[in-house]
Structure 1
Amino acid sequence: MSRFAISPGAASTKTGRLIRLMAASALLTASCATLSPNTATDPNRLPPILAQDEIIQPYTKLGTVEVSRERLGHIDDLKNESDEWAYDALGAEAAKMGADAVILPEVRAEKGTYLFIPSTSIKAKGIAIRFN
């Protein structure tokens, strides 16, 4: 026999080891996996901001939510950040009311100055709703 030849018994032993190793790896991977929380029952989930055409079921208006914030910086530099903050803040306020969503959001950013530093006033409002 050549020195690289594998006897028939050795091949099945190596295959068995490989199968056992793969099974152990799969078991360890599955045991370490975490399940993401269900967003419908997660109490920390913020209600989504919905456009009027995204509402496909009847709802009840809970009220108007309004938020405001003053930031130092030029309005053009803060535009994307202000929209993200406004939507998150509207969702947080609506969640306090027990809302399922916020509709008709309005976000305004107005220029101003604080001494010689440009500032931006961010105001947002929307309507908190609960689905029937």
Structure 2
Amino acid sequence: MTRPATVHGSASTRTGRLVRLMAASALLTAACATITPATTPDPNRLPPVLAQDEIIRPYTKIGTVEVSRERLGSIDDLKNEADEWAYDALGAEAAKLGADAIILPEVQAKKGSYLFFPSTSIKAKGIAIRFN
């Protein structure tokens, strides 16, 4: 009676490698994870721009923040970028004042030209507030 030829250890070797690979992946994933308590304020977080109906607490006006910028390009191409830049820039200025939020934002983008190239002038203004 002849026995079929088997390769000893090949299946167990693959299983062992797979187990070691999964353990290493889990260890690396756990090592990279960090837990940040919810009560720790993020110093890089900008104050949000709030609509009037989002304000549910009493607040104190700190001041008006204004930003402006000139960009080359058509107003149609830069409209979304202009709004994003304006809100980020207003947030950065309000953060310097210690504001909790910005209300009543106004963003204006106007067409212009620089020599032969279209340009866009972006101006934004809002009121920086601190919650009581």
TM range (shorter): 0.7 to 0.9
Q: 1:25 to 1:117 in 2, by over 3 A?
A: closer
Q: Please, what TM-score do these two structures have when normalized by structure 2? A: 0.77
Secondary structure at the counterpart of residue 53 of structure 1: helix
Do structure 1's residue 65 and structure 2's residue 65 form an aligned pair?
yes
Secondary structure at the counterpart of residue 29 of structure 1: helix
Secondary structure at the counterpart of residue 85 of structure 2: helix
Match of 2:97 in 1: 97
Q: Which aligned pairs between 1:32-47 and structure 2 lie closer than 5 A?
A: 33-35=32-34, 37=36, 41-47=41-47
Q: Which runs of 5+ in 2 are unaligned?
A: 7-15
CA apart distance, 1:29: 2.8
Match of 1:53 in 2: 53
Q: For 1:5-57, what per-residue CA distance to the aligned partner results, in whole angstroms no more than 9, with x for missing partners?
A: xxxxxxxxxxxx7xx856665444322x3326567511111111111111111
Q: Please, what TM-score do these two structures have when normalized by structure 1? A: 0.77
Secondary structure at the counterpart of residue 92 of structure 1: helix
Match of 1:129 in 2: 129
Aligned length: 126
Match of 2:117 in 1: 117
Match of 1:74 in 2: 74
Q: Which runs of 5+ in 1 are unaligned?
A: 5-16
